[in-house]
């Protein structure tokens, strides 16, 4: 008697290419959602763990705003709002008002001027003769030194965001000159808790100065292969602008909220500084080179977004390259690092979070204004 064993035929299902693609998409979506959620959670923890505490001074500061409107008005708001938490009284006026007369009436401890282009030097001299201390925080060094040259000697204290301008102003006879970079204002620039509905791989926000056009033009075709969006004025200067116009929002100034939203929506934000040698927009006849980073350096970092910036010599004093910020020195290196960090999520995330932590520890307007007040009132 023979026993015949019947084997059940098992058919293995083979998914179609379309189904495999959908599965990979779901997996990537879950992974991306997890990574972004982890980033947002860590960023929220870092923000909550930082509570700024600065000395409170029984001082009255008369703050003279820039008078230039946007994009300077957000700086005025950041400075005046921060000052109110540091001193007993803050009076804010515009440079078109009678600054000298108001100072006589109020007799503040300090007249602090932002930029100072529209304040008459004779008024400053009169204020100083009354024994009132005066200080200016220069906003555009070294790009407009031809104009600031005429003003700086009319202040007791000169604060500049460009370290290379310090010896220049000292040569002009200014005795109290200090490097005071701009900073991040956390009310404007901060991580958002919810995922952005408009995700970007790469963002660039800023004006299309000619050095930026020259730098980016050779790589634009490859840069735009990513989900890249650009916002700012003059970008129709690009040689092949028509090919990218659907992803370039041209001739629009973005306010702090909109800019912060764009940073938060981006995996990588490019920072490319303007040139100190562009005579089409600058007034820098002595060609003082720029060593210090721009305000965007701090604002991007405050949003917990990876920043790729061109190198400036002062940068390493403020952030550690490779740990808290990433740099590039050529168009090809910029592209290489974009590709690398878009495929190395954990490294991108850690640098972005380290940048946020360093910014909140050292680079807010609270830190800057506390430093300024400590110098004027030691």
- The SS3 of residue 273 is coil
The pLDDT of residue 314 is above 50: yes
Identify the helix (H) or strand (E) that includes residue 146: helix 145-148
pLDDT in tens, 159-174: 999 999 999 999 999 9
Model pLDDT, residue 226 = 96
Nearest alpha carbon to residue 104 among 67, 133, 66, 132: 132
Q: In this structure, are residues 46 and 356 in contact, taking their beta carbons and an 8 Å threshold?
A: yes
What number of H helices and E strands is found in the chain?
14, 12
* CB-based burial, 282-317: b 16+ in 10 Å, e otherwise: bebeeebebbbbbbbbbbbbbbbbbbbbbebebbee
Q: What is the mean pLDDT of residues 8-29?
A: 58
Report the percentage of the chain scoring pLDDT > 70: 91
Average pLDDT across the chain, whole number: 91
pLDDT band with cut points at 50, 70 and 90 for residue 27: low
User: Using an 8 Å Cβ cutoff, are 269 and 341 in contact?
Assistant: no
> What pLDDT does 24 receive?
58
The token duo for 127 is 């204020």
Q: Is the predicted pLDDT of residue 144 greater than 60, yes or no?
A: yes
pTM of the full structure: 0.89
User: Is residue 18's pLDDT more than 90?
Assistant: no
Above 90 in pLDDT, residue 356? yes
**Furthest-apart CA atoms within the chain: distance in Å:** 125
Residue 71: cis peptide before it, omega within 30 degrees of 0: yes
**51 band by pLDDT with thresholds 50, 70 and 90:** confident
- pLDDT value at residue 17: 63
pLDDT of residue 29: 47
pLDDT at residue 26 in the model? 56
Task: Say what the pLDDT of residue 25 is.
Answer: 52
Residue 208 vs residue 6, higher pLDDT: 208
Cα separation, 346 vs 305, in Å, equals 13
- pLDDT of 30 > 80? The answer is no
| pLDDT for position 70 | 86
CB 63 within 8 A of CB 112: yes
Q: Alpha-carbon distance 332 to 64, whole Å?
A: 44
- What pLDDT sits at residue 2? 47
Summarize the confidence of residues 64-71 as an average pLDDT.
92
- Percent of the chain scored above 90 by pLDDT? 80
Distance of CA 269 to the CA centre of its chain: 10
Residue 83 has pLDDT above 90, yes or no: yes
Is the pLDDT at 36 greater than 90, yes or no?
no
Confidence at residue 251, expressed as pLDDT on a 0 to 100 scale: 85
pLDDT in tens, 266-279: 999 999 999 988 87
Which domains, and CATH codes, for the chain?
57-181+365-376 (3.40.50.11930), 200-362 (3.40.50.2000)
At 210-239, the pLDDT tens digits run 999 999 999 999 999 999 999 999 999 999
* Tokens, residue 295: 């305000």
Q: Model confidence at 21, in pLDDT bands (50, 70, 90)?
A: low
Category of 262 on φ-ψ map: left (φ > 0), alpha (ψ -120 to 50) or beta: alpha
Q: What is the pLDDT of residue 100?
A: 96
């Amino acid at each position: 008697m023979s026993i015949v064993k019947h084997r059940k035929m098992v058919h293995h299902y083979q998914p179609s290419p379309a189904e495999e693609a959908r599965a990979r998409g779901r997996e990537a979506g879950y992974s991306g959602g997890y990574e972004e959620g982890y980033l947002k959670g860590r960023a929220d923890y870092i923000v909550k763990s930082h509570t700024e505490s600065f000395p409170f001074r029984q001082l009255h500061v008369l703050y003279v705003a820039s008078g230039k409107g946007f994009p300077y008005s957000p700086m005025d708001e950041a400075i005046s709002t921060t000052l109110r938490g540091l001193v007993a009284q803050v009076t804010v006026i515009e440079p078109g008002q009678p600054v000298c007369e108001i100072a006589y009436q109020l007799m503040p401890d300090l007249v602090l001027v932002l930029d100072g282009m529209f304040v008459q030097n004779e008024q400053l001299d009169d204020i100083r003769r009354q024994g009132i201390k005066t200080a200016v925080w220069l906003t555009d060094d070294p790009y407009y030194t031809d104009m600031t040259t005429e003003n700086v000697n009319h202040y007791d204290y000169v604060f500049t965001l460009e370290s290379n301008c310090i010896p220049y102003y000292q040569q002009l006879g200014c005795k109290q000159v200090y490097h005071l970079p701009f900073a991040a204002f956390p009310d404007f620039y901060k991580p958002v808790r919810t995922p952005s509905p408009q995700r970007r791989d790469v963002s660039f926000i800023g004006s299309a100065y000619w050095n930026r056009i020259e730098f980016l033009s050779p790589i634009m075709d490859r840069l735009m292969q990513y989900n890249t969006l650009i916002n700012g004025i003059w970008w129709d200067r690009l040689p092949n602008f028509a090919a990218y116009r659907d992803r370039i929002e041209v001739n629009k100034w973005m306010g702090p909220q909109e800019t912060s939203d764009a940073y938060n929506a981006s995996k990588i934000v490019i920072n490319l500084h303007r040139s100190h040698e562009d005579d089409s927009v600058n007034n820098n006849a002595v060609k003082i080179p720029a060593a210090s980073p721009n305000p965007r350096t701090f604002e991007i970092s405050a949003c917990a977004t990876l920043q790729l910036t061109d190198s400036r010599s002062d940068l390493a004093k403020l952030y550690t390259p490779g740990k808290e910020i990433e740099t590039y020195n050529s168009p090809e290196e910029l592209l290489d690092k974009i590709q690398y960090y878009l495929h190395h999520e954990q490294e991108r995330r850690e640098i972005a979070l380290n940048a946020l932590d360093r910014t909140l520890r050292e680079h807010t307007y609270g830190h800057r204004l506390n430093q300024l007040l400590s110098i004027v009132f030691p």
